[in-house]
Amino acid sequence: MKLDLHYNLKQLHANTLPYTNHFVPCHNTDETDANPKDLEKACVTPLNGTWSFDFYEDVEAFEQALHHKGDGELTVPGVWNLKGYDQIQYVNIKYPIPFDPPNVPADNPCGYYQRNFELATLYPEQDHQYVLNFEGVSSAYYVWVNGQFAGYSQVSHSISRFDITDLVAEGPNTIAVLVVKYSDGTYFEDQDMFRHSGMFRDVYITERPARRIEDFKLDTTLNTSENTGQIHIDIRKQTGNPAISYALFNPKGTLVEKETLEEQATISIDAPDLWTAETPSLYTLHLITAEEIIVQKVGIREVKIKDQQLWINNQSVKLRGVNYHDSDPITGYAVSEERLIEDLTLMKEANFNAIRTAHYPKSPRFYELTDQYGFYVMSEADLETHGVVMLYGDENTEDFNLIANNPKYEAPILDRVTASIVQLQNYSSIIMWSLGNESGYGQNMKKAAKLAHQLDATRPIHYESAFYAEGGENFSELDVISRMYPSPSEIKKRYLTNKKMTQPFILCEYAHAMGNSPGGLKAYHELMENTQPLLAHLYGSGAITR
């Protein structure tokens, strides 16, 4: 086959399954009692570990190679730039390649991964489904199973899933993945960060029964006058018409309610333990079918914007947050659970209560931990097109809307926003969605904001670059007003004393330090603390990364 999908805006994916909320089911109650991690469950065949690896300077060299020797080895999750292949690159604003979307340079380094595997379980007589999952690959990749093309995908920080039921067999199987450094996705992933390439998050196969839940959404609401909380269950897609029931356990593990379930149900709880960053109480919901139990932690909390403030559970809340990149000095994009816990613990010790996932969605495990540790999370789409302002030399913000306003780029923008919301919709720590970072503003971003509200009406929508709308800042489609790096005096004059301001103000970045420590923090802090609640009661701190 001709390997040309990675520079084709008309086909962003090939053979991928539709986006659904992320979950890995259990097979029995023994697993739910033991609470295993996803890759430890009986239905999972993990593909992490050592893969054979061939590095090529460009895709043409790969295509012309008669044999792929697999002389090298790489660990998955991991990146090849920190293992002696290619080079490490840091880019802030400029694109790493010439601006010619969707084309990419012929000199496009790529890595070819191969390994053998045997399925953990195999039920050919029961028509079970086998789904190949990639949680993060930069920047785009082609997949073959047992020598047959399985599919293609992009969006580096997104889960992609492939149905490989007809490609796998009992006994030894092979999988091969070609990862390309540059793709048309590169034009939408111009974040200020070190650039790495490879399969940097978990890779695994899940086995699913013929009758199964495919997608579900959980929402929570409060009735303050009656001191009750509600968990709303919506089974949005199923296959094979399974009989479904649910069981809900309180944070102490006591059964609250167990009932059969059709497509929707509402569980009402008297005097619920509410989830906040200070009291991250989690209920446990089991969605039960004949062959599976899906376990989902649920924090009962309600998010609202009113009176120019952010309210969590009817309490006005200020956000003291950090912008958090996936960045490890040894492993790059591949951030271990131990490193995540270390960082979250440090944030707690420093009295931070919020995280913006700068500038892309994190792994599912990250959100499980922020649910558990208690952080208000603004989860951001994997979207940045900042490089358009540097196309002709010096920075020119008049070009900021070049991609945001061109219908040619609508599909990839909406795809990235959809992926960022649908897959992560059931994590309670997420209190706000961000459409992306530094990508200008225009009709594509307006459609993205509308889509985000349709996908999830329970959380506010953020996007700072509406400041660059043609004709002047336009936050009318968004739920908060957001800025980066304005001075305290500008904030006060432009927003805090502006009687026309109806949305809360968030300072999504304001203290960006590379090397020396930044100054001015005292002035920002005093402004934030001394501002009356009806003005700018919502704020966030700046790009503080490890």
Question: Which sequence positions are flagged as catalytic?
Answer: 438, 509
472: left (phi over 0), alpha (psi -120 to 50) or beta: left
d(CA 346, CA 497): 35
User: Assign residue 146 a region: left if phi > 0, alpha if psi is -120 to 50, beta otherwise?
Assistant: left
> Length of the chain in residues, anyone?
546
Q: Which two tokens stand for residue 46?
A: 């993990």
Element (H, E) at 455: helix 443-455
Strand ranges of the sheet holding 173-180, from the earlier edge strand across to the other edge: 72-76, 49-56, 110-117, 173-180, 140-145, 148-154
CA–CA gap between residue 516 and residue 512 (Å, rounded): 10
Could you give phi then psi for residue 530, rounded to 5 degrees? Answer: -95, -5
Q: Of all helices (H) and strands (E), which one includes residue 365?
A: helix 364-373
* Contacts of 32 by beta carbon, 8 Å cutoff, 6+ apart: 26, 286, 293, 295
User: In this structure, which amino acid lies at residue 1?
Assistant: M
Q: How many CB atoms lie within 10 A of CB 393?
A: 6
Residue 104, both tokens: 């990419």
* Neighbour count for residue 113 (Cβ, 10 Å): 27
The CB-side HSE value for 173 (13 A sphere, CA atoms) comes to: 23
DSSP 42: T
